[in-house]
Amino acid sequence: MNRLAKRLIVPTVLLCALAAVGTVGGCDRGSTATTQGTGGGGSGVKIGFVVKDPTEPWFQNEWKFAQQAADEMGFTLVKIGATDGNTAMAAIDNLAAQGAKGVVICTPDTKLGPALKAKADENGLKLLSVDDQFMDADGKPMTEVHHVGISARNIGKSVGTALAEQMKARGWATQDTGLCVVSFDELETARERTDGATEALLATGFPKARVFKTPQKTNDVPGAYAAVDILLTQHPKIKNWLVCGLNDNAVLGAVRAMEQRQIKAANVIGIGINGTDAVDEFRKPEPTGFYGSILLTPRRHGYETAAMMYKWVTEGKEPPKITYTDGILITRDTYEKVMKEQGLL
Ligand code: FCA
């Protein structure tokens, strides 16, 4: 299946499957489909939770934790996967028509911020953006929309520092090594992460001339694979690669492209972001070039955002305008312990 087809069809299929076990259908709406919570709903309050990529474990975790809040607090959670702008806009109408009072959203397109905000206002829905902050017409963050996001630059810096430490541990010479930056600069949180990683590595004395940025066209594993494949064609002589990107998918795509070129795992240090999407990789019997990930806090992004919204619509308790969350490095050796502690495994 080609990439476009995958992006359009897979979420629909997945959500239709979810809808089949839930109480509400909605598979007649293309990639928009909704599922309602199993429990709760006692308060009669409905809250929407829209995510840009329901196939990504990160977003599945957000939904799982948001559902916990719904079950505990007794409201109905309406989950909507919106992989494109039209679907995201339609999701707001759909929620309003169902009588929802608020929506938590990670939009597939941050430039839609003003349009999404206007639509939410028009429909009397309270709005909280999560992960990807809305942009205004000048490309500046829309600070008037309440937001929960990661401290992207600091998390990126943790990636850069960990790359430098692991490079040192492996005794790599700088002249044999390159930094592969899988970039997605149109998304602010992505740019901040990869810039932060690069900055921290440069601060350790790594030369700027050995930093190679390669843009991914789509924010998924195939998009990163394609971007890194081009980079490797351009630089066939580099022996060791450090890899950073916006999330685990970006680094997984890079690692797969390197494996395809017979670059050994021992010559690759990839460090992702999310952690939730790295579990299958860490479970492989042999280590791969995917060395580690900065584990974020999906519980805070799912449970807390949904709970904040519930309190806002029921008690008038306005959430903070901006909340930043942090992360912690996990590797093959530590992920099980750390993720168990955080209720993620
Ligand atoms: C963005 C990324 C996700 C996740 C989230 C916190 O939305 O695309 O993978 O990292 O930020």
Cα separation, 79 vs 110, whole angstroms: 19
247 ligand 1 Cβ < 6 A? yes
The closest-lying atom of ligand 1 relative to the alpha carbon of residue 52 is 7
276 ligand 1 Cβ < 6 A? no
Residue pair 247/57 in contact (Cβ under 8 Å)? The answer is: no
Distances (CA, A) of 221 to 184, 246, 284: 13, 11, 17
Q: At what angle do helices 248-260 and 221-234 cross, to 10 degrees?
A: 50
Q: How far is the CA of 247 from the centre of ligand 1 (A)?
A: 7
274 ligand 1 Cβ < 6 A? yes
pLDDT in tens, the chain (345 residues): 334 333 333 333 333 333 333 333 333 333 444 455 444 468 899 999 999 999 999 999 999 999 999 999 999 999 999 999 999 999 999 999 999 999 999 999 999 999 999 999 999 999 999 999 999 999 999 999 999 999 999 999 999 999 999 999 999 999 999 999 999 999 999 999 999 999 999 999 999 999 999 999 999 999 999 999 999 999 999 999 999 999 999 999 999 999 999 999 999 999 999 999 999 999 999 999 999 999 999 999 999 999 999 999 999 999 999 999 999 999 999 999 999 999 999
Instruction: Specify the amino acid at residue 242.
Output: L
Pairing of strands 34-36, 76-81: antiparallel
From atom 9 of ligand 1, which residue's Cα is the shortest distance away? 247
152 ligand 1 Cβ < 6 A? no
Please identify which residue in the block is written with the tokens 């939730």.
276
Cα separation, 119 vs 92, whole angstroms: 7
DSSP per-residue letters across 20-31: HHSS---TTBTT
Which among 65, 132, 276, 326 is the best mutation to test ligand 1's pocket, defined by most ligand atoms within 8 Å of the CB?
Answer: 132
Q: At what angle do helices 57-73 and 305-315 cross, to 10 degrees?
A: 40
Which among 49, 135, 191, 246 is the best mutation to test ligand 1's pocket, defined by most ligand atoms within 8 Å of the CB?
Answer: 246
